Amino acid sequence: EENMTVTEDFSRVENTYQMEAEVCIIFTDFGKMQNVCNLLIEKLGTAVTISPPHFYHTREAIDTLRRQVCVAAVGNTRRKAQEVCQLFGQSLGKPLLIKEEETKEWGGHTDSDLPHSPDSLTLQERIQSATAYASSRVFAVFEIKGKENRRNKLL
Please choose, from the candidates 107, 27, 13, the residue with its C-alpha nearest in 3D space to the C-alpha of residue 36. Answer: 27
Mean pLDDT of 108-137: 76
pLDDT of residue 53: 85
CA-based radius of gyration for the chain: 27
CA distances from 90 to 81, 87, 103, 148, 149 (A): 10, 8, 31, 9, 12
Q: How far apart are CA 133 and CA 61, in angstroms?
A: 12
Contacts of 95 (CB under 8 A, 6+ apart): 78, 140, 141, 142, 143
Comparing 50 with 141, the larger pLDDT belongs to 141
Average pLDDT over residues 117-135: 81
Q: Mind listing the pLDDT tens digit for each residue in 22-55?
A: 989 988 888 899 998 999 899 988 888 888 888 8
Residues 6 or more apart from 17 whose CB is under 8 A from it?
10, 11
pLDDT above 70 for 112: no
CATH number of 59-145: 3.30.110
pLDDT confidence of 93, banded at 50, 70, 90?
A: very high
Neighbours of 73 (CB within 10 A): 21
CB atoms within 10 A of CB 100: 15
**pLDDT band with cut points at 50, 70 and 90 for residue 154:** very low
Banded pLDDT at 148 (limits 50, 70, 90): low
Inform me whether the pLDDT recorded for 107 exceeds 90: no
Min mean pLDDT across 46-55, 111-120, 135-144 is at 111-120
Is the model more confident about 68 or about 58? 68
Please say whether the beta carbons of 130 and 109 come within 8 A: yes
Given a cut of 90, whether residue 116 has pLDDT beyond it is no
pLDDT of residue 130: 86
Q: Taking the domains of the chain in order of start, what are their residue ranges? A: 4-44, 59-145
Name the residue type at position 125: E
Question: Which percentage of the chain shows pLDDT scores above 90?
Answer: 44
Q: Are 82 and 147 in contact (CB under 8 A)?
A: no
Compute the Cα dihedral for 126, 31, 57, 101 and give only its sign.
negative
- Of residues 20, 50, 48, the one with CA closest to residue 34: 50
Residue 150 banded pLDDT, cuts 50, 70, 90: very low
